Amino acid sequence: MAKKRFSKIVIVLILSLMGILMVLPFYWMLITSVKTPLEAVHFPPTWFPQHFRFHNYIEAWNQVPFPRYFLNTIIITIATLIGVLITSTLAAYSFATIRYRGRNFLFLSFLAMMMIPIPVYIVPGYLILTKLHWVDTYLALTVPWLANVFSIFLLRQHFMTIPKDLYDAAIMDGCSRFGFLIKIVLPLSKAALVTVSLFSIIGSWNAFIWPLVVTSKDVLRPIQVGLAYFVQEQSTNYTLLTAATTFTIVPIVLLFFFLEKKIIASFARSGLKG
């Protein structure tokens, strides 16, 4: 018994050490963000700020148009979320429940598209956008992301678990195909829809390489690109940089703390189907 107890203590100790390793960078970011510039570079380092300087946040917020970056990211996140939900639901519904010519071919082609990594797209994607004169517009930041093969795949897997009998019964009762989707399928698929939405929101909020490439105007930059350039310009002003970094991750961390169970379950599920 004593041996078991001992091994449990060792396990908790190892887990705590790793926990500290995971949290320490965030803690260091937070305390640097409220230190005075002088204290931030003091040796030996202070583990708790001697004077709180919340003014860093105001200064960082006003130095570059962060409000605008936030607005851009919110616009992109919402537009993408709505688009992905509509296109994925419809496409997944057709792949899962309707039989038609070329269905399997189309589905496999979609899956093949998923094999191509985003960095491979950036140059040709950018060239297509220049042809459309979409570079430096909100269209470039949203429209290409309004459909997402992964979401289609995830929803299709879920829709296929809905029994065919249910469909036949609903049609017998005079329900249309679209009505069946709205009235029966969607309410039964809340968990899958939440997963798709969470991936979409987190993905849009954290997107970097695509908006970096398709925007050159400051006013169109989403939050990650704005922060990245801010870091590049203010390369030594670490109190301001950590303050800015903090407020860019607050929304997503809040979302995580409210929906922690759902978010982790979604990520876990993303692996199971492979």
Partner 1 sequence: MKKVFRFLGPYFYLLPALLIIFVFRFLPMLYAFRVSFYKWGMAGAEKFVGFSNYINIFKDSNFWQTFGNTLYFAIGVVPGSLFISLFFALLLHKSIRGARFFRTIYFLPVITSIIAVSMVWKWLYHPNVGLVNNLFHLFGCRGFNWLSEWRGIFQMFFSSFGLGIPIKGPSLALCSLIIVSIWKGLGYNIVLFLAGLENIPSQYYEAAKVDGATQWQLFRFVTLPLLSPTTFYVLIMTTIIAFQMFAYVWMMTGPPAGGPLGTTNVLVYYLYDHAFNFSRYGYGTAAAFILFVIILTLTLIQRKFIESRVFYG
Q: How far apart are CA 48 and CA 45, in angstroms?
A: 9
CB within 8 A of 21, min separation 6: which ones? none
How many residues make contact with partner 1 (CB under 8 A)? 90
Q: Name the residue nearer to partner 1 (CB basis): 219 or 250.
A: 250
Nearest residue (CB) to partner 1, 128 versus 219: 128
Q: Cβ contacts of residue 6 below 8 Å, gap of 6+?
A: none
Q: Which listed residue (2, 3, 5, 21) binds partner 1 by CB under 8 A?
A: 21
Measured between its terminal Cα atoms, the distance across the chain in Å is 41
How far is C-alpha 137 from the geometric centre of its chain's CA atoms? 21
- Do 58 and 243 form a contact (C-beta atoms < 8 A)? no
Q: Which residues within the stretch 149-168 sit at the binding site for partner 1 (CB under 8 A)?
A: 149, 152
Question: What's the closest the beta carbon of residue 173 comes to partner 1, in angstroms?
Answer: 19
Among the listed residues 193, 161, 203, the one whose alpha carbon sits nearest the alpha carbon of residue 262: 193
Residues in region 178-237 near partner 1 by CB under 8 A: 202, 205-206, 208-209, 212-213, 224, 227-228, 231
Residues 237-266 that bind partner 1 (CB under 8 A): 238, 241-242, 245, 248-249, 252-253, 255-256, 260, 263-264
71: Cβ contacts below 8 Å, ≥ 6 apart: none
Min separation Cβ 185 and partner 1, Å: 12
Residue numbers 29-68 binding partner 1 by CB under 8 A: 29, 32, 40-45
Minimum distance between the CB of residue 271 and partner 1, rounded to whole angstroms? Answer: 4
CB within 8 A of 169, min separation 6: which ones?
none
Shortest distance, CB of residue 106 to partner 1, whole angstroms? 7
User: Nearest approach, Cβ of 165 to partner 1 (angstroms)?
Assistant: 20
* Cα dist from 64 to 54, 71, 113, 127, 152, whole Å: 17, 13, 38, 29, 38
Residues 170 and 180 sit within 8 Å (Cβ to Cβ): yes
- Residue in 90, 162, 175, 194 binding partner 1, rule: CB under 8 A: 90
Q: Which residues 104-133 are close enough to bind partner 1 by CB under 8 A?
A: 106, 109-110, 113, 115-128
The distance of closest approach from Cβ of residue 90 to partner 1 in the complex, given in angstroms and rounded to an integer, is 4
CB 67 → partner 1: shortest distance, Å?
A: 18
Q: Does 6 bind partner 1 (CB under 8 A)?
A: no
- Could you say which of 75, 78, 82, 143 contacts partner 1 (CB under 8 A)? 143
Q: Which is nearer to partner 1, 18 or 169 (CB)?
A: 18
Residue 238 near residue 40, CB atoms below 8 Å:
yes
| Distance, CA of 227 to CA of 121 (rounded, Å) | 23
